Structure 1
Amino acid sequence: MPIALKPGSLKDPEIAALFRTEDPESYFADLREIGHGSFVGFGYSWPRMCSHQKDVIWWEAKWNDIVKEVKFLKNLRHENIVEFKACFLKDHTCWLVMEYCVGSASDILEVHKKPLREQEISAICQQVLHGLRYLHSLGRIHRDVKAGNILLTDSGVVKLADFGSASLVCPAQSFVGTPYWMAPEVILAMDEGRYNDRADVWSLGITCIELAEKKPPFFNMNAMSALYHIAQNDSPSLPVGSWSSDFHDFVDQCLIKDPALRFSTETCLLHPFISSARPASILFDLIQRTKLLVRDLDHFQYRKLRKLIVDDDLCAESASSRSDSYTSTQSLCGAMRSSITSVSSLKKAQRSLVPIVPLADDSTTSPLSRTPPLSGSVDTDTDTDVTPPRPSLTPTAKTASMEMNHEQQQQQQHQHQQQEQQQQLSIVGPRRRKEEILAWRRSRFATIRPTVTIAREQTEYAAENNMHEQMSGYKRMRREHQKELKQLEEKFNSEMDNLKMKLDREYENLLLQFHKEMDKLHVTHRQELDKRLKTNEELERKLRKAIVQQQEVEMKALQMQLKKEYKVNKERLKQELKMENSSKSFVEGNLKTSKQNHLHVQAEAENRLIADHKFYLDFEIRKLKRRRLLHYHQLEQDLIREELGVRGRQLQSAHTLLRRHHELTRDLEMRQLNSLQNLRCQHLQKQHASELQNQQAYMKRVQDELRKKHAMQVKQQPKELKQKELQIRRQFRQAVKTQTRQYKLLQLQLTQDLPKDEQREVVARLKDEQKRKLALLAEQYEGSIGEMMEKQTVQLETWQEEEARQTKDKLNEELELLMAFQSKQRMQMDQHHEREKGRLNEKVSLRLAVLENKMDDEVTQFERERQDRLNQLQTRQNQELDVFDQASIHLGFSLIALSASSSSTSTASGSSSSATAVANKPGVINSASIQDAIHQQPTTDNSFQAVTAHHHHQHLSSSSSSNNNNNNNNNSRNNNNSNNNNSNNNNNQCISPSLHPSASSGKQRYELLEEDYRKKWAIS
């Protein structure tokens, strides 16, 4: 027997067919890392055999998750779903090749720093709904719809990405998705059951709010707190503003908390907000505007860096400029370094398309671009776009002013770069120049994100990885809890199935035992009936033999008696003739006549005796058969009562077993429910502990960041104070210069017409006045410096204290909300457990009531069947006895005599002397010995001894009494009367008073019977 392969084993041909074993680096050139998700790395490269960009993603996730993801992606083919190209397996790393998109909807929000227009949101939602409708038609759920997972191509086609959280089945029950976009039924899936594809519609509604407000609802809260708000509070809505009523209605319909009332993808596509007319190129224009803005931002950063490098000496005049230049140079140099290795347009967290560990965790997407298959050879270049006119929008007014101030410098730098490139190209050969040109063109792929954003993303990735890991750990814990509950339920189902099988087997064995017992009882009864039949035949044979022997003796005695009488008569006749002296011939003639007469009389006597013997033999045999028939009927009644009693005990035993089975099942169900509820409570405690731990970690992180921010502000305060001091100093210097100029002019005016002696005095007086005013100005300067420093210090401290207080209040409020929700969740779980116990008790009570009704029905049916069988037996026996009596009457026997002799079986010992006396009479056969043998057979009372269940004894006794009354009313079937015991002179037959009402005593009954016998059997 072949060994079963483990799930996901590469030895499985179906799994091996998903991966290519070639080296991916042999297929792709210029491979470089362009981004990171929480669990996956992203790279950008060019295929060596074609001129199209590819997005390469390398995995280090769990193998089963990778297999699931590749299977999911490989079977998807839709215009609005990111296209799967190939998957390579190299060492312990998976390389997934997907089509490349220029960015995501969240990237557009980040670049423009403002919400999208309503028509742009409508166009994006329409294509997203087409992709979701395709997924839902396959019975799958995306479960992570958000702006970061909605990618766009150069041509403005919307692509759904990030299927790491997707579900292969619908409905699902996993806790999967990004917290702020998760539907309430997904959050409560482990507590309240399953959810379906309407969860994607909720996420789409949240995405609409995100595109309209730049952030989803509750985004300023901790992820845990956001989950509780979504699950417990009312649905969020689109803020009142410049949005249309159709947009408001569409969002409200998508965010209905009841999934049954929420729109489906088909209904959403028919909504006026989606189906309204709009320009066909609206998304293409959005992409082009975004690309131009990104290009301007990159150029501005480049010019800014260039300015800082070229104008370093000019910037060194003031401490403020030096500080700004130092800070800007540090940040921009870091951006330049990161742009060398990761000049990409991927969005913030590129892990949703193919997440690593686990695939179903929170993730975002990688912006991938639409490209032909790996074997394609279409020659296009993403950097050869037709550049549209320069957009009118700029990031800030400061950006525009900086561009105007440094436009000339930019032109000079651009010319300088062109000259350097031309010099380099002129040195190398044509082939080298071609490779350089291709490498330079390939390095500039289409993007809608600035280089600074990519650099900042890589910096923030390391800082935010702890939060991602925390959320991932929480989701992993929820999935483990769900897995444990599922395993426990499967274990309970297996235990219940095993118990049912055991109980069914025990019940079947009991029924089989009952069946064998009844078969054995039937065999025993059949043997007893057969034995009784054989006994009856033996008794009939013995009786027939005894009567025949006695009749032979009587026949011989008759013949001897006749012979003696003939001899006596012959001698008497001879004497008479001899006395009369008759002649010899006369004597001989008389003797001959006498002999003939004697022979004639003898023949008549013998014939009469033979006829009487035959009638008597038939009568006795008939009496015996009737008596044995009544005994046989009594035996049948005893046996059927015994059978019914056994069946009643069996039925009672079966019912006892069923009640015990019910108790065992009830105990197991109660024990399983208690175990399940205890496990849920443990999971809830762990979940709450984890949530509190995460919330406390979040609060500590926020407070630490706030302290760092305040420390940085305190650290930077001397620089700011120095800058303001320098500004005041400039103002002081300017005031001193102005005052000096004023005094010079005043001195010139005053000394023009004065002689030199007076001029000296005026000049001295003016100098003293100038010194006095300069002293006052210096004092004012020092006071301004002190006031400024004091004001700035107090303002900073007050602002920091207020910010710390507000942050602390906010965090405490979130913690209180979390604890309140946890308390509510515990209360809801307790209520749910009580409802489960109540439902189980109702189920057990209903099952017991059904079982009791079934057992009552079985008992009622058994009693009905028992009564029917007894009635049928009684009817059959009565019919058999009627047939026997009719046959007896037809044969000429007296029914009274047969009934009397049949009912006198209990008085055989008291009538033996009478039988002897009757046997000595002429023509009456003495069969006392045979009668004694017959009468010695055991007789039983005709009253029914019913063996039934304990609660039916009275009913069965009354039924038996009614049967006895019916039997007593039937002629030739009555029991002996107590007066029969007083008759001692019967001829082995006792006539019942009911058959002979005129007979008042045993003597009269005997005389009537003897007279009847004499009439028939007297010998003349």
Structure 2
Amino acid sequence: MPIALKPGSLKDPEIAALFRTEDPESYFADLREIGHGSFGAKWNDIVKEVKFLKNLRHENIVEFKACFLKDHTCWLVMEYCVGSASDILEVHKKPLREQEISAICQQVLHGLRYLHSLGRIHRDVKAGNILLTDSGVVKLADFGSASLVCPAQSFVGTPYWMAPEVILAMDEGRYNDRADVWSLGITCIELGTEKKPPFFNMNAMSALYHIAQNDSPSLPVGSWSSDFHDFVDQCLIKDPALRFSTETCLLHPFISSARPASILFDLIQRTKLLVRDLDHFQYRKLRKLMYLDEQQSGSSAEVSSLDSEDIDSVDDDLCAESASSRSDSYTSTQSLCGAMRSSITSVSSLKKAQRSLVPIVPLADDSTTSPLSRTPPPSGSVDTDTDTDVTPPRPSLTPTAKTASMEMNHEQQQQQQHQQQQQEQQQQLSIVGPRRRKEEILAWRRSRFATIRPTVTIAREQTEYAAENNMHEQMSGYKRMRREHQKELKQLEEKFNSEMDNLKMKLDREYENLLLQFHKEMDKLHVTHRQELDKRLKTNEELERKLRKAIVQQQEVEMKALQMQLKKEYKVNKERLKQELKMENSSKSFVEGNLKTSKQNHLHVQAEAENRLIADHKFYLDFEIRKLKRRRLLHYHQLEQDLIREELGVRGRQLQSAHTLLRRHHELTRDLEMRQLNSLQNLRCQHLQKQHASELQNQQAYMKRVQDELRKKHAMQVKQQPKELKQKELQIRRQFRQAVKTQTRQYKLLQLQLTQDLPKDEQREVVARLKDEQKRKLALLAEQYEGSIGEMMEKQTVQLETWQEEEARQTKDKLNEELELLMAFQSKQRMQMDQHHEREKGRLNEKVSLRLAVLENKMDDEVTQFERERQDRLNQLQTRQNQELDVFDQASIHLGFSLIALSASSSSTSTASGSSSSATAVANKPGVINSASIQDAIHQQPTTDNSFQANNDMNYWKKIIEKSIRYK
């Protein structure tokens, strides 16, 4: 049996096919780290994202080129883009025009529609993730937060762009692809106001509560059209069911309105020109600083040796660095800053500081390919989630990840003609030496790589990322805590489901065992009843056989007694006849004739008597057997009634026991549900307390950080105040010197005018008077100078202290207001949780009550059905027994028996004693002839023999009956 491979194992052919085994350094240069994970790398997440990207093919989604795996390091090569929408805002320092926003949103919606059609969610739509190519094509990027399933439930995304349902997903349920539409609406506000998204000046924790519980933000009132306002409002509807989908958004007038086809291309070109000017300005500023530094250090001769060729090469290197991707800009900017800090002393050192690697050999399939380069994640961005999410590619086994940076842009007009040139260059590069290759690559970079990201912006982003990293870690820790809470709740729910399933299985098994026990008990009872009935049938047959035997024996005795009686009577009659004949002295022949006639008469009477007796015996036997059968039939019916009552009683007790068990099961289930609900609610309360404590801790840390930064800022201002005061003092001093010089010149002119016509004696007096007046005015000017300096210093100090105090007070009030809002939101959340818990308890009580009512109704129905079935079975048994008795009585009547006699005999017997005692009494008196029965039987004979009437046979039979009575 083959061993199952671990998930994500490279031995799996499907996983191995995602990565190329070539050395990426043979294809790309300038390889450096562009990001790192906060909590370590996850190989499975890398595999998920590569699978995610490899299956995406759309014009408005950044294209996946290749993925290399070398020395446990993953290299991901993506389509090159010149920058993002946020870069354009940063460069122009003003909002985009409405038509430009409409064009960007239209292409973004096409990309989102493609993703949503595949059942996926981006979950991090913002201006920083909307990239643009050199030809003006919009590309969606950064699928590190994307979800492979829709709907999802993970707390993933950048806080300020999150939809309310995403924030509340862990507490209230799932969300769908409409969350991307909300993020697009926030992005429209971001692009249309040149500002960050709403609540960006708040702490991320407070922003989450504001987004989830406050009204939807809207586009600020300005020069925007009503279509733009309506589009943003429709995208920012809080109810996802009422919010526009991507299909509906594409049909909105703001998106479908006519606009120039080259509007984005023109925007890119304007931005690139502005970036180039900014970079050249920064370079000229740097060169001036270098020149001044060289002058101060006494090495100006080396700087003056810079020829025009070196300056051009340095300029080209700086332009190439400014045209690099974000990752290149980080490293090159660090090198540039390092060179500035170390007071660069030569152009060669600057070149060394600014040198960066370039592509060695481009990919054969696309010359515009560039590795994925991503800006540092903003505060609170999320990289992993608990659903089927995709994380940005990070190192699998090494602490840092390198990403190939192949700096190219899309110039669709020149693409075809450059492809052939590039193929020729690839052939030539494999032949020419290293020097020729570097020259061609440098020329390629100068001509082909221009971005819309100024070097100053890249440097600032690098420093801002270091400042935001703390907030990013806080937010990541907060989201990790939320995911852990969700995992704990999910595990607890799974545990509760398992407990409930086990309890249900146990109760079902107990109920099934009880039903099985009932079934066995009923089967055993049925067998016992069947045996009793069979035994009763056998007993009836035995009693009938014994009764028949006893009656037959008695009738044989009676026949013999009758024969002996007739024989004795014949002898007596014969002797009497002889005596009478003898007294009459009859002849012998006469006597013999009379005797013979008497004998014949006797034999005839004897035969008639025997026949009569046999008929009576047969009638009596049939009557007694019929009477016994009827009596035993009634007893058998009574037994059946007793047995079915016993069976129904047992079934009633079983039904009652089953109902008692069901009620106990209901109580056990209710108790377990109550315990589980209490445990779940307690865990939620604990999680909420931890969440609130974490939020307060993060808010307090945020407040402390803001206050510390403000104190540092104020300290820096106080530290810099003497310099500023000195500069202003120098300015006032220059003004004073200028005033003194002016006044001196004026006095000289005045002295010249006054003394040119006066004699020397008077001139001395005038000169002395003018000098005294000049000294007095200069003293006044000096006093005014000192007063101006003191007033300026006092004013600046007071203004600085007042401004700092006001700023500190405003900052403190703002932070306290945010803290109060956070605490208010937390109190509201606790109240909502308590209300939710009460509703859950109410719903559970309603559910339990409904289930109990259903159970009671079911049991009542079962009892009613049982009573109905019981009555039906009793009625059916009674009907069947009545039919059997009617059939028996009809047969008895047909046989000539009196139904009254049979009923009276059966009733008297059945009322006198039980069925078994009656049978025993009959069995103990075999052959007994009931005179009333015989008389009834005789009277019921349809005809009477006339010969017996003629010969007074009635008297004869009366005698026989009397003898029988005496015999009895």
Q: TM-score, length-normalised on structure 1?
A: 0.76
Counterpart CA distance in 2 for 1:897 and 1:706 is: 125
Distance change (3 Å), C-alpha of 1:575 and 1:470: same
Alpha carbons 1:347, 1:449 under 8 Å: kept? no
Q: For residue 104 of structure 1, what is the aligned residue in structure 2?
A: 84
* Offset at residue 466 of structure 1 (A): 0.8
Once the two structures are overlaid, the 10-residue window that deviates more, 115-124 or 496-505, is: 496-505
SS in 2 for 1:19: coil
Q: For residue 741 of structure 1, what is the aligned residue in structure 2?
A: 745
Alpha carbons 2:35, 2:401 under 8 Å: kept? no
Distance change (3 Å), C-alpha of 1:586 and 1:800: same
Residues 455-511 of structure 1 show CA distances to partners (whole Å, capped at 9, x for unaligned) of: 222222222211110111111111111111112112211211221111111111111
* Offset at residue 695 of structure 1 (A): 0.5
> How many residues matched?
937
Counterpart CA distance in 2 for 1:399 and 1:565 is: 146
Distance change (3 Å), C-alpha of 1:444 and 1:339: farther
**1:125 equivalenced with 2:105 (yes/no):** yes
* Offset at residue 808 of structure 1 (A): 0.6
* Offset at residue 90 of structure 1 (A): 3.3
* Offset at residue 74 of structure 1 (A): 2.0
Distance change (3 Å), C-alpha of 1:5 and 1:927: farther
Counterpart CA distance in 1 for 2:772 and 2:97 is: 70
Residues 803-847 of structure 1 show CA distances to partners (whole Å, capped at 9, x for unaligned) of: 111111111111111001101110011011101101111111111
Residues 117-157 of structure 1 show CA distances to partners (whole Å, capped at 9, x for unaligned) of: 00000000001111111111112211111111111111111
Distance change (3 Å), C-alpha of 1:430 and 1:659: closer
Distance change (3 Å), C-alpha of 1:927 and 1:528: farther
Alpha carbons 2:327, 2:375 under 8 Å: kept? no
Once the two structures are overlaid, the 10-residue window that deviates more, 610-619 or 170-179, is: 170-179
Distance change (3 Å), C-alpha of 1:380 and 1:841: closer
Residues 705-758 of structure 1 show CA distances to partners (whole Å, capped at 9, x for unaligned) of: 111111111111111111111111111121122122222222222222223333
**1:34 equivalenced with 2:34 (yes/no):** yes
Residues 273-317 of structure 1 show CA distances to partners (whole Å, capped at 9, x for unaligned) of: 10000000100111111111111100000011112xx99999999
Alpha carbons 2:168, 2:212 under 8 Å: kept? yes
Distance change (3 Å), C-alpha of 1:371 and 1:190: closer
Alpha carbons 1:129, 1:269 under 8 Å: kept? yes
Q: For residue 958 of structure 2, what is the aligned residue in structure 1?
A: 988
Distance change (3 Å), C-alpha of 1:716 and 1:324: farther
SS in 2 for 1:405: coil
User: Relative contact order, CA 8 A, sep 6+: which one is greater?
Assistant: 2
Alpha carbons 2:84, 2:130 under 8 Å: kept? yes
* Offset at residue 438 of structure 1 (A): 4.1
Unaligned regions of 5+ residues in structure 2, if any? 289-313
Residues 513-535 of structure 1 show CA distances to partners (whole Å, capped at 9, x for unaligned) of: 11111111010000000000000
Q: For residue 229 of structure 1, what is the aligned residue in structure 2?
A: 210
Residues 315-334 of structure 1 show CA distances to partners (whole Å, capped at 9, x for unaligned) of: 99999999999999999744
SS in 1 for 2:212: helix
Alpha carbons 1:146, 1:181 under 8 Å: kept? yes
Counterpart CA distance in 2 for 1:380 and 1:190 is: 15
Alpha carbons 1:732, 1:781 under 8 Å: kept? yes
Residues 883-923 of structure 1 show CA distances to partners (whole Å, capped at 9, x for unaligned) of: 11111111111112111111122687999999999999999
Alpha carbons 2:145, 2:383 under 8 Å: kept? no
Distance change (3 Å), C-alpha of 1:91 and 1:243: same
SS in 2 for 1:33: strand
SS in 1 for 2:324: helix
Alpha carbons 2:81, 2:409 under 8 Å: kept? no
Residues 334-390 of structure 1 show CA distances to partners (whole Å, capped at 9, x for unaligned) of: 487999999999999999999999999999999959999999999999999999999
* Offset at residue 561 of structure 1 (A): 1.9
SS in 2 for 1:443: helix
* Offset at residue 658 of structure 1 (A): 0.6
Once the two structures are overlaid, the 10-residue window that deviates more, 532-541 or 558-567, is: 558-567
Alpha carbons 1:111, 1:290 under 8 Å: kept? yes
Alpha carbons 1:919, 1:925 under 8 Å: kept? no
Counterpart CA distance in 1 for 2:127 and 2:946 is: 97
Counterpart CA distance in 2 for 1:384 and 1:522 is: 61
* Offset at residue 23 of structure 1 (A): 3.5
Q: Pick from 462, 474, 484: which aligns with 2:466?
A: 462
Once the two structures are overlaid, the 10-residue window that deviates more, 626-635 or 218-227, is: 218-227
* Offset at residue 553 of structure 1 (A): 0.9
* Offset at residue 656 of structure 1 (A): 0.4
Once the two structures are overlaid, the 10-residue window that deviates more, 292-301 or 504-513, is: 504-513
* Offset at residue 200 of structure 1 (A): 1.1
Distance change (3 Å), C-alpha of 1:115 and 1:937: farther
* Offset at residue 780 of structure 1 (A): 2.0
Distance change (3 Å), C-alpha of 1:376 and 1:274: closer
* Offset at residue 759 of structure 1 (A): 2.9
Distance change (3 Å), C-alpha of 1:408 and 1:824: closer
Alpha carbons 2:227, 2:254 under 8 Å: kept? yes
SS in 1 for 2:69: strand
Counterpart CA distance in 2 for 1:627 and 1:393 is: 100
* Offset at residue 664 of structure 1 (A): 0.8
SS in 1 for 2:348: coil
Alpha carbons 1:888, 1:895 under 8 Å: kept? yes
Distance change (3 Å), C-alpha of 1:993 and 1:294: farther
Distance change (3 Å), C-alpha of 1:361 and 1:29: closer
* Offset at residue 800 of structure 1 (A): 0.8
Alpha carbons 2:216, 2:236 under 8 Å: kept? yes
Distance change (3 Å), C-alpha of 1:769 and 1:345: closer
Counterpart CA distance in 2 for 1:324 and 1:605 is: 145
Once the two structures are overlaid, the 10-residue window that deviates more, 666-675 or 568-577, is: 568-577
Counterpart CA distance in 2 for 1:202 and 1:182 is: 8
Alpha carbons 1:914, 1:988 under 8 Å: kept? no
Alpha carbons 2:335, 2:354 under 8 Å: kept? no
Distance change (3 Å), C-alpha of 1:934 and 1:250: farther
* Offset at residue 16 of structure 1 (A): 3.5
Residues 673-719 of structure 1 show CA distances to partners (whole Å, capped at 9, x for unaligned) of: 11111111011101100110110011111111111111111111111
Distance change (3 Å), C-alpha of 1:452 and 1:611: same
SS in 2 for 1:151: strand
Alpha carbons 2:335, 2:353 under 8 Å: kept? no
Distance change (3 Å), C-alpha of 1:984 and 1:388: closer
Alpha carbons 1:315, 1:325 under 8 Å: kept? no
* Offset at residue 105 of structure 1 (A): 0.4
SS in 2 for 1:904: helix
Q: For residue 530 of structure 1, what is the aligned residue in structure 2?
A: 534
* Offset at residue 559 of structure 1 (A): 1.5
Once the two structures are overlaid, the 10-residue window that deviates more, 906-915 or 705-714, is: 906-915
SS in 2 for 1:388: coil
Residues 595-618 of structure 1 show CA distances to partners (whole Å, capped at 9, x for unaligned) of: 322222221111111111100100
Once the two structures are overlaid, the 10-residue window that deviates more, 318-327 or 935-944, is: 935-944
* Offset at residue 591 of structure 1 (A): 3.5
Q: For residue 53 of structure 1, what is the aligned residue in structure 2?
A: none
Residues 55-111 of structure 1 show CA distances to partners (whole Å, capped at 9, x for unaligned) of: xxxxxx222322332222222211111112222333443222211111110011011
* Offset at residue 578 of structure 1 (A): 4.9
Distance change (3 Å), C-alpha of 1:741 and 1:563: same
SS in 2 for 1:277: coil
Once the two structures are overlaid, the 10-residue window that deviates more, 291-300 or 444-453, is: 444-453
Once the two structures are overlaid, the 10-residue window that deviates more, 26-35 or 448-457, is: 26-35
Residues 424-465 of structure 1 show CA distances to partners (whole Å, capped at 9, x for unaligned) of: 999998953764554762797231111121122222222221
Counterpart CA distance in 1 for 2:530 and 2:573 is: 63
Counterpart CA distance in 1 for 2:727 and 2:768 is: 37
Distance change (3 Å), C-alpha of 1:381 and 1:576: closer
Distance change (3 Å), C-alpha of 1:331 and 1:894: closer
Distance change (3 Å), C-alpha of 1:425 and 1:529: closer
Counterpart CA distance in 1 for 2:878 and 2:758 is: 169
Alignment of 1:9-24 (within 5 A): 9-24=9-24
Alpha carbons 1:346, 1:367 under 8 Å: kept? no
Counterpart CA distance in 2 for 1:198 and 1:633 is: 78
Counterpart CA distance in 2 for 1:403 and 1:90 is: 21
Residues 259-285 of structure 1 show CA distances to partners (whole Å, capped at 9, x for unaligned) of: 111111111111111000000010011
Alpha carbons 2:478, 2:694 under 8 Å: kept? yes
Alpha carbons 2:62, 2:140 under 8 Å: kept? yes
SS in 1 for 2:68: strand
